[in-house]
Amino acid sequence: MSNEWFKVAELSEIRVDRTRLCRIGDQVLCLYNLDGAIYATDDLCTHGAASLADGFIENGEIVCPLHDGRFCIRTGKATGAPCTIDIKTYSVKVKDGAVLLDSTEFADVPHDRTIP
């Protein structure tokens, strides 16, 4: 199956070392800008009911705003207590200033945003 990438944000909308919430159907993701490179993970912390988009980026890790658990943004690995379960990561591509996700990773992709 060939990958189809779809646009979810403009690169300029995500500041360096900041996050952005992103909804695709029922799925909620958090986008990160690490020194100009964009990454994506699930937004809901694997430990408590908290949105990682409200978290703090430190040394390539997202710090959960509720209990200060940590995940590696690049790999999704749980790196700090109390988090022990890794967070799901997603493929991201940046093309012509647009942040793109891979439609094969989502159940419910809005068709009008698909870029072949």
Partner 1 sequence: MSQSIVVIGAGQAGGWAARTLRDQGHDGRIVLVGRECRPPYERPPLSKGILDGVTAPEAATIFAKSVLEQLAIEWRAPVECLSIDRGKRHVLLSDRSTIAYDKLILCTGGRARPLSLPGGNLPGVFQLRSMEDALAIAARLEPGKRLVAVGGGWIGLEVAATANMRGLDVTIVEADARLCARTVPPQASSYLLSLHEQHRTQVLLGCDIERIEPDSAGGLVVVLKDGRVLPADIIVAGIGLLPNDELARDAGLECRGGIIVDTQCRTSDERIFAAGDVTLAYNHWHDRRLRLESWQNAQDQGIAAAKAALGINIQYDPLPRFWSDQYGIRIQMLGCPNSERGIPIVRQGREAGHFMVFCVDSSRLLGAFSVNAASDLREARRILMSGRPVAPAALADPTFDLADL
**Which residues, in sequence order, are bridge partners of residue 33?**
38
User: Do 2 and 90 form a contact (C-beta atoms < 8 A)?
Assistant: no
Phi and psi at residue 106, in whole multiples of 5°? Answer: -130, 145
- Is 76 a residue that touches partner 1 (CB under 8 A)? no
User: To 10 degrees, the CA torsion angle through 45, 92, 100, 83?
Assistant: 0
Among 1, 2, 12, 15, binds partner 1 (CB under 8 A): 15
By CB under 8 A, name the one of 8, 38, 43, 55 that touches partner 1. Answer: 55
The one segment of 4-12, 26-34, 53-61, 87-95 that binds partner 1 by CB under 8 A: 53-61
Our CB check for partner 1 shows the closer of 66 and 98 to be 66
Q: What are phi and psi of 12, to 5 degrees?
A: -65, -15
Kindly list the residues in this chain that would bind partner 1 in the complex (CB under 8 A).
15, 18, 51, 54-56, 58, 65-68, 81-82
